[in-house]
Structure 1
């Protein structure tokens, strides 16, 4: 009997997951984060159950957008005064607070119902890799990235560079002109 109760507790327990936003496209990253916030990755998911996990997102200041979306995408910002709704570009909005772009993208991807506020309380955003120790000790797993970040040329080993195809092999008597 006790093992069934423990299985039930483990099924609905909240896990803490880490997500790295470095060089990840913001809309696709938000969709991936929402999947874990809502609990859609669990086999017991139902829209009326609250079985989502905590998601800790690091490096939000290095999030990416496609093409010229930094200038084209607009966010509505209310300054708090009467009739002062401002439309800010994603670039300016990101410059104001590096975590707000990811927060707004995730908020817009969540279902438009009464659970939205509760789901947003389980989202923890950090502009860099510095995470408080009390959160760091709770982390259990890593969310796979949307796309693998590209490697710089100095990060490749000499063996990998040697295996690249050669498009032009200069002749032995070739001398470059100055």
Structure 2
């Protein structure tokens, strides 16, 4: 009888990767990044464990969407207070806080549980091309 393989902490070697979002489609980039965060391309992938890598996304303000989504795509948030509903379109959020667009798209593709919240902490998104993770020596990946 064979036992199920469960990777231990010594089996896990997390890498740091950097992805450039310049002129990339939002959904396709989010799909690739969510798969890297989960570790789906690794041979030791286990659905119930964090075996993924750290991902840094730069140039989040230069991501694009096709068609009329710049104007028609809406983002909702609520403060929890009466009358606290805020609605903004893609274009206004991209000007104000472009990191939130990618974070929201990627978070929606992760599991909706404790593991998904932990995986989301391995994602770092930055507006421009500068980031503070140079000391981790991230590898550049093309997505």
Same fold flag (TM > 0.5) = yes
Give the superposition deviation at 1:71: 1.1
| Residue 73 of structure 1: aligned partner | 73
CA contact (8 A) 2:19 2:56 kept: yes
Taking the aligned partners of 2:10 and 2:115, their CA distance within structure 1 comes to: 22
Q: After the TM superposition, list the runs of 4 or more consecutive aligned residues in structure 1 that deviate by more than 3 angstroms.
A: 8-11
Give the superposition deviation at 1:21: 0.3
Q: Which secondary structure does the structure 2 equivalent of 1:12 belong to?
A: coil
User: Aligned in 2, Cα 1:60/1:144: closer, same or farther, shift over 3 Å?
Assistant: same
Higher helix share: 1
Give the superposition deviation at 1:141: 2.0
| Cα offsets for 1:5-31 (capped at 9, x unmatched) | xxx766411111101000101111000
Give the superposition deviation at 1:118: 0.7
Taking the aligned partners of 1:82 and 1:96, their CA distance within structure 2 comes to: 24
| Cα offsets for 1:47-74 (capped at 9, x unmatched) | 0121111100000010110111111111
Task: Give the paired residue count.
Answer: 136
Structure 2 stretches lacking a partner, 5+ long? 1-7
Taking the aligned partners of 1:37 and 1:104, their CA distance within structure 2 comes to: 14
Q: TM-score of the superposition, structure 1-length normalised?
A: 0.71
CA contact (8 A) 1:38 1:119 kept: yes
Match runs of 1:51-130 below 5 Å: 51-79=51-79, 81-130=81-130
Taking the aligned partners of 1:80 and 1:97, their CA distance within structure 2 comes to: 21
Q: Which protein has the larger Cα radius of gyration, Structure 1 or Structure 2? A: 1
Q: Which secondary structure does the structure 2 equivalent of 1:81 belong to?
A: coil
Give the superposition deviation at 1:105: 0.6
Q: Which secondary structure does the structure 2 equivalent of 1:18 belong to?
A: strand
